[in-house]
């Protein structure tokens, strides 16, 4: 019988886990419920997953909550999603703060309601000093648009003489992304069986391990996160180098 590994012998968890939360609509449809019911259950999955990530020693958790393409959904569904976001920011931030979790929101805030932007700013300020886990919510977020905005910032700096064209390198781009100062994701999980990135962290995810799971997001929780991390820990990450 093999001896059990002590906690000190366990492989470390990934530093940064990113999740494409997919399947709320299919979860609701399978139960004959409106899509809003799936989104509400999805919010409960967010709570479970954040708690599990903190307990498992993950340092950064990024959740793809609302993409730039999601604005094209029916107006009623968008309104419901924004309502859920307001509830989350009002009701969950105290719990995040109590558990030492820092909240950071990435994405295009110009398309969000003024009251939501105010809630985001207040939540970020309240939790800014927390260190147990950084939770990044990607809202109105698109990876291509983020790279475009970084390119525009670089172009402005070059045009103003603040930066030499020869100084434009990967670090210069990194510094102008919404995730500046945050390590790239080690692992990107997508739920619901779909196997694509959908414009999520295109620059940052260049060497992320991809884990696709059949579980619909409302059913996701600690067991699924643990399974994904075990999968990650069993992989040989070579970052483009030879064995």
Task: List, by residue number, the catalytic residues.
Answer: 22, 70
Taking CB atoms within 8 Å and a gap of at least 24, the contacts of 145-154 are 145/68, 145/108, 146/106, 146/177, 146/178, 146/202, 146/203, 147/173, 147/177, 147/202, 147/203, 149/176, 150/176, 150/177
Residue listed under structure tokens 């999980």: 189
3-state secondary structure of 163: coil
71 labeled part of a ligand binding site: yes
100 labeled part of a ligand binding site: no
234 labeled part of a ligand binding site: no
Please, are residues 182 and 136 in contact by the beta-carbon 8 Å criterion?
yes
Spatial distance between the Cα atoms of 118 and 98, rounded to a whole number of angstroms: 21
196 labeled part of a ligand binding site: yes
Q: How far is CA 177 from the centre of its chain?
A: 14
Spatial distance between the Cα atoms of 9 and 130, rounded to a whole number of angstroms: 28
Residue 204: name the closest of 180, 228, 225 by CA: 180
238 labeled part of a ligand binding site: no
77 labeled part of a ligand binding site: no
91 labeled part of a ligand binding site: no
147 labeled part of a ligand binding site: no
The tokens for 158 are: 């070059």
80 labeled part of a ligand binding site: no
39 labeled part of a ligand binding site: yes
25 labeled part of a ligand binding site: yes
Half-sphere exposure in the Cβ direction for 12 (13 Å, CA): 7
Sheet containing 101-106: order of strands? 101-106, 133-141, 60-67, 16-20, 187-190, 209-212
31 labeled part of a ligand binding site: no
Q: Which residues are annotated as a binding site?
A: 22-27, 35, 39, 67-69, 71, 73, 190, 196-198, 209
Q: Which residues are annotated as a binding site for substrate?
A: 23-27, 35, 39, 67-69, 71, 73, 190, 196-198
Q: Which residues are annotated as a binding site for Mg(2+)?
A: 22, 209
């Amino acid at each position: 019988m093999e001896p059990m590994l002590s906690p000190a012998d366990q492989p470390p968890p990934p530093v940064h886990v990113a999740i494409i939360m997919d399947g709320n609509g299919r979860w609701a449809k399978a139960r004959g419920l409106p899509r809003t019911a799936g989104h509400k259950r999805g919010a409960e999955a967010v709570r479970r997953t954040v708690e599990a990530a903190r307990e498992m020693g993950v340092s950064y958790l990024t959740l793809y909550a609302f993409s730039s393409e999601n604005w094209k959904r029916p107006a009623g569904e968008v309104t419901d999603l924004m309502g859920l976001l307001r509830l989350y920011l009002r009701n969950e931030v105290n719990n995040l703060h109590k558990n030492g979790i820092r909240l950071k929101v990435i994405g295009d805030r110009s398309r969000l309601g003024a009251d939501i932007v105010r809630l985001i700013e207040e939540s970020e300020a309240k939790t800014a000093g927390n260190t147990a886990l950084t939770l990044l919510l990607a809202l109105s977020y698109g990876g291509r648009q983020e790279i475009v905005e970084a390119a525009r910032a670089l172009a402005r700096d070059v045009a103003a003489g603040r930066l030499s064209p020869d100084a434009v390198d990967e670090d210069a781009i990194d510094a102008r992304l919404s995730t500046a100062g945050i390590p790239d994701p080690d692992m990107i999980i997508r739920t619901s069986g779909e196997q694509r990135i959908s414009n999520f962290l295109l620059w940052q995810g260049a060497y992320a391990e991809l884990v696709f799971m059949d579980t619909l997001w409302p059913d996701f929780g600690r067991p699924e996160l643990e399974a994904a991390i075990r999968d990650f820990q069993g992989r040989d990450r070579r970052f483009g180098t030879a064995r």
